[in-house]
Amino acid sequence: MTKSPVWLSERVQWIGALDPTMRSFDIILKTPNGTTYNAYAVRGSEGVAVIDTVKAECADQFFEHLEAIACYDEIKVIVLNHLEPDHTGALPELMRRAPQAKLYISQSAQLMIKALLNQQDIDFISVGTGDTISLGDRTLKFLHTPYLHWPDTQCTYLEEECILFSGDVFGCHFCDERLFNDKVGDFRFAFEYYYAHIMRPFREHVINALELISPLPINIIAPTHGPILRDKPTSYIQRYRELSGQRLQSEVNADEKTLLIFYISAYGSTTQMAQMIRDGAEQVPGVRASLYDMEGGDSDLFVDLVEDADGILIGSPTINGDAVKPAWDLVSSFAKINVKGKLAGAFGSFGWSGEAVRMLEDRMRGLKMRLPLEGVRIKLIPSSDELEQCRRYGQEAGEHLMGVNAPRVLDMADLLASRKQISN
């Protein structure tokens, strides 16, 4: 384990902490190699800046490293690129030991810092893109890069040395005491896995951030987790550009919209419904509808399709008063991407109670998808009338997708009564 600070340059040191035995992070991530909490110190002619801190449990390592390279009264500036507790755990103690240091946070972090420290009267300075602070012969410049992966996140750029302190961006959970990307073991899988689970849901924000970062000359990217990227740093920016691009090559024309119909069926009734819904949707010019049997697929593969789709319908029978597990697995995977605003719906056959459809609808509504239609529920085997109802549902879904649905006028009492009947 590294017991001394590590030099990035004459004026910049790594003063973070190693956590080699960590095996799951933030509940949702596996970490076979543990992780690091990277914090940095920058020395200017007029004082020292500390950039980020570490998890509370690792604070001893952090303070030991910090004390080896600076006195507390030299610290003029504390920059927080991200307020999550794994980077701010040592902050209260650092503020106590260096009370003269000014705290710099992003504009979106102002309410969070109060909730984090449970203190209303914190003295801080909020900064945005283009703001700078001088340490004499060294200058820190800020980049507002929100939602990577929290609302508060920002990057800090050391102008004279072209070092980007990127926060969690370009980071990964990979603990190796050799620290630099040209020295550590092969961490490519950790880098990809971290992007997929932490950054991917914020794809649009990644693209915006890359626009801010790309024009900067960069010698070193110094993230808050994992290896410090000093060898070919821009290749990681390029990789983020690829990862935030479209996963699948687009197969549809600009004037077409895609509707994915996922279904699973015990005795074929929900399958029949899915096929009729597809036929109905295909009647609407411009709709490209596709059918997928969830029994033969895997939500990890489907989620790439969903990310690019305009509309998603899910068909599930009701078993023991619930939708079936493959349907829930698919909906759970939506948390890895951004589905907000996509058209959604549910349908399914049932034996006697049929709760699955409304439960799936509620869940997708909760994910802020757009559900303009009540899904079709059919008791046991669909009759020809009921199949016609499915075709109409598919057609209406297609019309909503293309924005050509016919106007309807309703009375509120009828509207709410029909909803109540359905949910009973």
Partner 1 sequence: MAKAKVTFSDVNVTVNVPVGTRIIEISEAVGSYIAYNCREGDCGVCLFEVIKGKENMSAISKEEKAVLLARYQEIMDGWRATTDIDALQAKMQRENFIGKNCRLACQTQVFGDVVVAPL
Residues at the interface with partner 1 (CB under 8 A): 106-108, 110-111, 126, 128, 144, 146, 340-341, 365, 368, 370-374, 400, 405-412, 415-416, 419
| Residue 151 contacts residue 38 (beta carbons within 8 Å) | no
Of 1 and 115, nearer to partner 1 (C-beta) is 115
Of 188 and 340, nearer to partner 1 (C-beta) is 340
CB-based contacts of 124-128 (< 8 A; 24+ apart in sequence): 127/154
CA–CA distance, 353 with 318 (Å, rounded to integer): 8
Of 19 and 374, nearer to partner 1 (C-beta) is 374
Q: In the bound complex, what is the minimum distance in angstroms from residue 328's beta carbon to partner 1?
A: 21
Q: In the bound complex, what is the minimum distance in angstroms from residue 130's beta carbon to partner 1?
A: 12
Of 23 and 365, nearer to partner 1 (C-beta) is 365
Q: Which of 12, 20, 10 is nearest to 39 (CA)?
A: 12
CA–CA distance, 256 with 237 (Å, rounded to integer): 32
Q: In the bound complex, what is the minimum distance in angstroms from residue 104's beta carbon to partner 1?
A: 12
Q: In the bound complex, what is the minimum distance in angstroms from residue 275's beta carbon to partner 1?
A: 24
Q: In the bound complex, what is the minimum distance in angstroms from residue 419's beta carbon to partner 1?
A: 5
- Exposed/middle/buried for residue 415 (C-beta within 10 Å: 0-12, 13-18, 19+): exposed
Of 351 and 372, nearer to partner 1 (C-beta) is 372
Of 90 and 344, nearer to partner 1 (C-beta) is 344
Of 216 and 371, nearer to partner 1 (C-beta) is 371
3-state secondary structure of 187: coil
Tokens for 258?
Answer: 């895609």
- Interior/surface letters 236-258, b for 16+ CB within 10 angstroms, e for the rest: bbeebeebbeeeeeeeeeeeebb
Eight-state DSSP code of residue 404:
-
Q: Which of 186, 230, 213 is nearest to 81 (CA)?
A: 213
Indicate the helix (H) or strand (E) that contains 261.
strand 257-263
Q: Which of 90, 88, 32 is nearest to 61 (CA)?
A: 90
Distances (CA, A) of 236 to 76, 181, 201, 210: 31, 11, 19, 11
Of 69 and 371, nearer to partner 1 (C-beta) is 371
CA–CA distance, 416 with 6 (Å, rounded to integer): 65
Q: In the bound complex, what is the minimum distance in angstroms from residue 62's beta carbon to partner 1?
A: 28
Q: Are strands 47-51 and 40-44 parallel, antiparallel or unpaired?
A: antiparallel
Name residue 292's beta-bridge partners: 262
Residue whose entry in the numeric block shows the structure tokens 């800090």: 156
Dihedral of alpha carbons 95, 97, 100, 104, sign:
negative
Of 283 and 405, nearer to partner 1 (C-beta) is 405
Q: In the bound complex, what is the minimum distance in angstroms from residue 406's beta carbon to partner 1?
A: 7
Of 179 and 339, nearer to partner 1 (C-beta) is 339
Q: In the bound complex, what is the minimum distance in angstroms from residue 373's beta carbon to partner 1?
A: 6
Q: In the bound complex, what is the minimum distance in angstroms from residue 292's beta carbon to partner 1?
A: 24
Residue whose entry in the numeric block shows the structure tokens 């992966």: 149
- Exposed/middle/buried for residue 286 (C-beta within 10 Å: 0-12, 13-18, 19+): middle
3-state secondary structure of 158: strand
Q: What are the φ/ψ torsions at residue 36 (nearest 5 degrees)?
A: -125, 150
Of 215 and 407, nearer to partner 1 (C-beta) is 407
Q: What are the φ/ψ torsions at residue 114 (nearest 5 degrees)?
A: -65, -40
3-state secondary structure of 119: coil
Q: In the bound complex, what is the minimum distance in angstroms from residue 409's beta carbon to partner 1?
A: 5
Q: In the bound complex, what is the minimum distance in angstroms from residue 145's beta carbon to partner 1?
A: 10
